[in-house]
């Protein structure tokens, strides 16, 4: 167990044994040994440089694509807050802190006549959006990302070009333990009112087709034929995860408090009182059923972190 007194001094906040369930959309999971909320980039960089190398580090965003397991996360979980949520404009470039919410960036960009509307309905932060190459309605982070600033595990601050991250369908290559702190996006110009109307239409479409008010982490599994991240015509993802889940008879399947949502069967949901083990167990059951019935292996899109609950 890490002792707070062993950790480097910080200007931000360090909390021992911090419950993570309240910081995730699924509302499940055990504690982090330590939760660090740095004051700014310097604070983060100084902390990581001095943190003993054998202590693992896990950066989280706002937990909209995460299942934290019931035993919690060993090491230091880093969650960026106020010092990292600035949004600035320079021509068609948008510089956003990693803690800025996607929706907020989309709205501010639209007011400037810049089209980042695809971010409006994604509930995460910019750090999570880069890491996951988030996207919807044909547009993805990969289409607009120019460069990122990261703080590496040894505390070095670096700028990486978008190409170095190898953004692909819901994935990226980030060095282990690296924390994204800022992203620069290039957004196409469009009339502000047109952008407002598009965002309103996309929000309405979401509410019609997805359980946006439930405790989920969005799509549970990647679409089996999804490979592209560009929004181009080859990015069809014809074979949808929800369809193969339906075909395997798993829509509405239940395990403890976990359910495969009846509105959208690729949305694993905490219907009340679920543990992380219920959710992950049900997900694994779905993967097995789909494989047994169709020979298709579903891959998790939701990131699962931490350890299972200790056995009594
Ligand atoms: C209702 C709902 C709808 C959704 N719809 C979509 C959708 O249409 N398209 C889509 O792409 N996703 C969607 N998602 C999934 C999710 O919102 C995205 O994956 C989002 O980008 C995750 O961001 P986050 O800040 O919540 O990251 P988290 O869930 O906290 O973390 C996700 C991953 O990103 C990493 N990460 C986060 N911040 C940083 C950082 N600063 N530095 C380094 N790594 C970091 C974490 O380590 C983790 O591996 C949806 C989720 C929900 C709940």
Each residue's pLDDT, cut to its tens digit, for the chain (312 residues) gives 788 888 999 999 999 999 999 999 999 999 999 999 999 999 999 999 999 999 999 999 999 999 999 999 999 999 999 999 999 999 999 999 999 999 999 999 999 999 999 999 999 999 999 999 999 988 999 999 999 999 999 999 999 999 999 998 889 999 989 999 999 999 999 999 999 999 999 999 999 999 999 999 999 999 887 444 444 444 555 688 999 999 999 999 999 999 999 999 999 999 999 999 999 999 999 999 999 998 899 999 999 999 999 887
CATH number for the domain that contains residue 97: 3.30.465.10
CATH code: domain of residue 68: 3.30.43.10
Which residues, listed in sequence order, are joined to residue 157 by a DSSP beta bridge?
A: 151
Do both 89 and 182 map to the same domain? yes
Measure the CA–CA gap between 56 and 90, rounded to whole angstroms: 37
Contact 127, 165 (CB under 8 A): no
**DSSP 8-class letter at 171:** B
Task: Establish if 235 belongs to a structural domain.
Answer: yes
Do 13 and 45 share a domain, yes or no?
Answer: yes
Distances (CA, A) of 94 to 62, 100, 107, 118, 158: 21, 12, 12, 14, 19
In this structure, the answer to whether residues 63 and 93 fall within a common structural domain is no
> How far apart are alpha carbons 27 and 186 in whole angstroms?
34
Number of domains in the chain: 3
Same domain, 185 and 219: no
Residues 89-105: tens digit of each pLDDT: 999 999 999 999 999 99
- Same domain as 293, residue 226: yes
Q: Are residues 78 and 90 in the same domain?
A: no
Q: Tell which one of 98, 124, 210, 212 to mutate to probe ligand 1, the residue whose CB is within 8 A of the most ligand atoms.
A: 124
Q: Are residues 42 and 137 in the same domain?
A: no
From the number of C-beta atoms within 10 Å of its C-beta (0-12, 13-18, 19+), residue 141 rates as buried
Nearest CA among 270, 288, 287 for reference residue 279 = 270
Q: Are 195 and 100 in contact (CB under 8 A)?
A: no
Sign of CA dihedral 217, 221, 225, 230: positive
Label the pairing between strands 66-68 and 303-305: parallel
Domain co-membership, 96 together with 189: yes
What order of strands is seen across the sheet that includes strand 93-97?
Answer: 87-90, 93-97, 179-186, 145-151, 157-161
Ligand 1 binding pocket includes 283 (Cβ within 6 Å): no
pLDDT tens digits for range 208-233: 999 999 999 999 999 887 444 444 44
The catalytic residue positions are 170, 219, 301
310 occurs within a structural domain: no
219: containing domain: 215-305
pLDDT at 238: 64
Residues 172 and 221 in one domain: no
Ligand 1 contacts CB of residue 177 (under 6 A): no
Q: Are residues 148 and 236 in the same domain?
A: no
Of the candidates 82, 110, 139, which is a domain's last residue? 82
Name the residue of 35, 132, 167, 230 to mutate for ligand 1: max ligand atoms within 8 A of Cβ: 132
50 shares a domain with 138: no
């Amino acid at each position: 167990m890490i002792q707070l007194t062993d950790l480097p001094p910080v200007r931000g906040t360090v909390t021992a044994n911090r419950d993570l369930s309240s910081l995730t959309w699924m509302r499940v999971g055990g504690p982090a040994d330590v939760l660090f909320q740095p004051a700014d980039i310097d604070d983060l960089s100084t902390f990581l440089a001095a943190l003993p190398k054998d202590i693992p580090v896990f950066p989280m965003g706002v937990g909209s694509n995460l299942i934290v397991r019931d035993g919690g996360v060993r090491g230091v979980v880093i969650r960026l807050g106020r010092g990292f949520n600035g949004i600035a404009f320079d021509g068609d470039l948008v510089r956003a802190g990693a803690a800025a919410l996607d929706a907020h960036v989309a709205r501010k960009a639209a007011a400037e006549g810049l089209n980042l509307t695809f971010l409006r309905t994604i509930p995460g932060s910019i750090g999570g959006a880069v890491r996951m190459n988030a996207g919807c309605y044909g547009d993805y982070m990969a289409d607009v990302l120019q460069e990122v600033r990261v703080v590496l595990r040894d505390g070095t601050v670096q700028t990486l070009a978008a190409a170095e991250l190898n953004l692909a369908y819901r994935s990226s290559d980030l060095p282990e333990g690296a924390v994204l702190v800022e992203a620069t996006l290039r957004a196409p110009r469009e009339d502000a009112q047109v952008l407002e109307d598009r965002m309103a239409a996309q929000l309405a479409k979401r509410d019609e087709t997805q359980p946006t008010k439930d405790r989920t982490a969005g799509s549970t599994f990647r679409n089996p034929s999804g490979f592209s991240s560009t929004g181009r015509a080859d990015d069809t993802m014809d074979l949808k995860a929800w369809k193969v889940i339906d075909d395997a008879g798993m829509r509405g399947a239940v395990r403890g408090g976990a359910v495969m949502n009846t509105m959208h069967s690729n949305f694993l949901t905490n219907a009340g009182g679920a543990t992380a083990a219920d959710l992950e167990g049900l997900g694994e059951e779905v993967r097995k059923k789909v494989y047994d019935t169709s020979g298709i292996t579903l891959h998790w899109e939701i990131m699962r972190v931490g350890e299972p609950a200790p056995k009594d």
